């Protein structure tokens, strides 16, 4: 293991709740949000497992952050939080 320093990046992020059977809907929602707001992706995606299989054996309790890293020169909207239910 080694330490790696990465530049700070803006991202379009959504929380996927539940099993990953339909996580593609969350990816689509993030992509739609970015497109509506004139944000360009850098084609880099990150998933952060807040509550994953190691934490629970109940898929409905899982929580995953889906983050599309934005291009450095992409326009940034004012800070905002959007909550959507995709269930």
pLDDT tens sequence across 16-53: 999 999 999 999 999 999 888 888 888 888 999 999 99
Output the pLDDT for position 21.
95
Within a domain: 57? yes
Within a domain: 85? no
The CATH number for 28's domain is: 3.20.80.10
- What is the per-residue DSSP string for 28-86? HHHHHHHHHTT--EEEEEEEEEEE-TTT-S-GGG-EEEEEEEEPTTS--PPP-------
- The number of folded domains in the chain is 1
Cα–Cα nearest to 31, from 62, 87, 23: 23
pTM of the model: 0.75
* Residue at token pair 């890293």: 69
Residue span of the structural domain in which 54 resides: 11-70
């Amino acid at each position: 293991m080694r330490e790696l320093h990465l530049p700070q990046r803006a991202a379009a992020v959504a929380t996927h709740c539940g099993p990953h059977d339909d996580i593609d809907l969350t990816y689509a929602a993030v992509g739609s949000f970015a497109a509506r707001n004139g944000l360009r992706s850098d084609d880099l995606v990150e998933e952060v497992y807040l509550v994953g299989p190691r934490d629970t054996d109940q898929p409905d309790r899982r929580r995953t952050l889906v983050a599309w890293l934005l291009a450095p020169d992409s326009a940034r909207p004012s800070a905002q939080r959007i909550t959507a239910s995709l269930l």
